[in-house]
Amino acid sequence: MSAKHKIDLYALTWRLPIILWQLIFFVGPVLFMIAISFFVVKNYRMTEAFEFVNWQRMLTRGYFWDSYWYTVFIASLSAAIAMFLAFPAAWALAFRASENLRRWAVFLLIIPFFTSYLVRTFSWYVILAESGVLNAMLGYVGLGPYKMLNTHFGTIVGYLTLTLPLAVILQTVTMANIDKTLVEAARNLGCKPLATIWRVVLPLSKTGFVVTALFCFILAFGDFVAPFYLGGSQEPTLPILILDTTKSGQQWPRAAVVAIMMMLTLFAVAFTAIVLAYRKPKGAR
């Protein structure tokens, strides 16, 4: 028993920094935010209380639910588009490129994360403006100019700036770990390329693909920069609603309600995605 206790103590010693980190920078702030949601604001100052007025105020307002469902929709749409656009590139890197080329491609995909996401987002102003690069190119073929800034399209472009490189990397890593002999066997049995992807590649990549889509959704769902600067806040997302709420009479408790609803949504989506990712097919042991 003493040896077992020593082993447990040794393991706990190495786990303790992670546990403390989570308690200080995650559990603590979440509990504090939950507590704040029950405070009340009087004369622009928060007062300790235990009232559900903030929850009732936010959850019974149409503008909150409009922002909520719009955020869920636009984040889901951007995640789906990122997955779709990333697949051809990831397929080529996983099955057609050499290992050396694949490593260089992954390295180049990581480089955008070395720069500020805000700077990358602002760079789209030059490209998407009515007098910008993209409209200038379309003008040469007699098209445009089109309004792309302050639209849903601009928001999607901003989200893809954040999520697409990550989607390509994760899909590449997922498909690169597939046993290539299974793909070759499907081809030898007369399976066409699209059927091979549908019947062999996608089932074997299910876990990685679901996790990739989850990451894309989480990043888009909580992003403030793209819908604010490229989307023009035409339809405010939940992060924008948090900013607007805090500016309206210092209503931090109501903003905390919005933030908690965002976290509950992300927990629900993440739990569902993980269950789907690791669920075994019927009949499998």
For 198-225, the pLDDT digits (tens) are 889 999 999 999 999 999 999 999 999 9
Q: Is residue 284 part of a domain?
A: no
Answer whether residue 1 shows pLDDT above 70. Answer: no
Helix or strand run (H / E) with residue 45: strand 45-47
Which pTM value belongs to this model? 0.89
Answer whether residue 161 shows pLDDT above 60. Answer: yes
Q: By residue range, what is the domain housing residue 142? A: 62-278
Task: Report d(CA 87, CA 175) in Å as an integer.
Answer: 10
Backbone torsions φ then ψ of 47, nearest 5 degrees: -125, 135
Q: Is residue 98 part of a domain?
A: yes
Q: If you average pLDDT over residues 154-182, what whole number do you get?
A: 94
Q: Is residue 31 part of a domain?
A: no
Q: Is residue 87 part of a domain?
A: yes
**Residue given tokens 């800034």 in the structure block:** 149
Q: If you average pLDDT over residues 136-164, what whole number do you get?
A: 91
Query: Alpha carbon of 210 to those of 159, 160, 167: distances in Å?
Result: 18, 17, 11
Candidate ranges 77-86, 96-105, 249-258; pick with highest mean pLDDT: 77-86
Q: Is the peptide bond before 145 cis (omega within 30 degrees of 0)?
A: yes
Task: Report d(CA 236, CA 226) in Å as an integer.
Answer: 11
7 falls in which pLDDT band (50, 70, 90)?
Answer: low
pLDDT of residue 281: 64
Question: What CATH number is attached to the domain comprising 192?
Answer: 1.10.3720.10
Task: Report d(CA 187, CA 195) in Å as an integer.
Answer: 9
Q: Is residue 55 part of a domain?
A: no
For 224-283, the pLDDT digits (tens) are 999 999 998 878 999 999 999 988 877 999 999 999 999 999 999 999 999 988 887 665
Q: Is residue 258 part of a domain?
A: yes
Q: Is residue 80 part of a domain?
A: yes
Number of domains in the chain: 1
Answer whether residue 190 shows pLDDT above 70. Answer: yes
pLDDT of residue 234: 76
Backbone torsions φ then ψ of 132, nearest 5 degrees: -90, -170
Q: If you average pLDDT over residues 103-117, what whole number do you get?
A: 91
Q: Is residue 83 part of a domain?
A: yes
